[in-house]
Copies of this chain bind each other. A is one copy, B any other.
Amino acid sequence: MTEEFREVDLCVTAPRGFRAGAVACGIKSDAAIKDLAILASDVPCVAAGTFTTSRTPAAPVLLCREYLRSGKAQAVVVNSGNANCATGEQGLRNAYRMAELAAAHLGIPKELVLCSSTGIIGRQLPMEKIEQGIAAIELSSQSGNDFAEAILTTDTRPKRIALEFEIEGRTVRLGGATKGAGMIYPNMATMLCYLTTDVAVEQAWLQEELRAAVAESFNMISVDGDMSTNDTCLLFANGLAGNRPLNEAHPDAPRFREALRRVTTYLAREIARDGEGATKLMTVHVRGARDRTDAIKAARGITLSPLWQCALAGGDPNWGRIVAALGACGCTLDPNRFDIFIGPVQVVQQGGAASYDEAAARAVMAASEVTVTIDLHLGEAEATAWGCDLTHGYIDENTLYTR
């Protein structure tokens, strides 16, 4: 099968039975920018979610965690421009109210409507605008891309994808839209991701697969190391494809897993690539680690180093910074054994300077995508993490604000 996974348009409304809509309701200062959106299925879905581990989670995260205990959901309402975080009891009431308004608008039970917010922390939601906004939203199966735009804050572009593939010989789809990592005042942001599929899936297996996919994608990216209060990833499976519900034992389970990994990894990379001020996507691949935990520590450790992020911005193959970040990350290593490659150029051999062509290394560093490969030569485990460079743009977005 040469095209086992085919890319199609409309992201979250690509799978059958999903509709979306978005409006500009005035939460953001620019009244022309869409800042409120609904994504809904025609029928109730099996749903799964993963959330920030912050101890100051935003109100919508608390709502999602509660409603998702049922394993079911049918819609989500999302606003950008206001995070509804550090807003206390009132904030929590507003989150439930927002979901309730969307449920009434859609004519479905309120317990089946989730909600998300993203934007500035510490301000109450403008509920009147949200109420009017929700009433004005018209849903359509063609509006997935509108939804993907309305959830953005400091992102420079939407991040969306949909794949078409076969389950039990039927053509099915899996779509996704996400917004990027980074927080900016007055449009403080966070990472949100919505995934939809018409495949029928058993809930427990769906939750397990989502958690595993997120661990290898969204949990392996960083822009600045700052963790958000609102991070949310939701997956809706409405079963309209009519297949026998997927679980571990289903022969097509691996194909669904592969589609999910492709979608989440694509969206995660797009977030890293569009980090605040970023000009380059960094991929760090660690192999030869003693175990998976060590591999993750090392891969993430390199993406998180501001000094290496700066070197990347400057196109400087200054591998001493990789060595320092590797030493600091806490992974098991033998200082006289590890190798480091920048692109195909081996810069470190057995822990010390390799003999390499400086010009070749600089040429690799000049590209818009740079891959660092580390071989620890201690075992078989590997991991991949993604990040971006650190530039004036990051500083500007986060110091220059509108009063």
Contact = CB atoms under 8 A, between A and B. Distances in A.
A122 B55 contact: no
Interface in A101-139: 120-123
A86 interface: yes
B323 A122 contact: yes
Total copies of this chain within the assembly: 2
A342 to B, nearest CB: 13
A127 B212 CA distance: 52
Given A320-B85, A353-B86, A306 B226 contact: yes
Interface residues of A, number: 65
Interface stretch (A37-45, A166-174, A281-289, A331-339): A331-339
A224 interface: yes
Contacts of A348: 86, 122
A353 to B, nearest CB: 5
A229 B56 contact: no
Interface in A82-102: 83, 85-89, 91
Contacts of A320: 83, 85-86, 120-122, 183, 185, 188
Interface of A: 52-57, 83, 85-89, 91, 120-123, 183, 185, 188, 224-229, 304-307, 310-311, 313-314, 316, 318-321, 323-328, 330-333, 335-336, 348, 350-353, 390-392, 394-395, 398-401
8 contacts: A56-B333, A57-B327, A121-B321, A121-B323, A188-B321, A226-B306, A226-B321, A311-B398
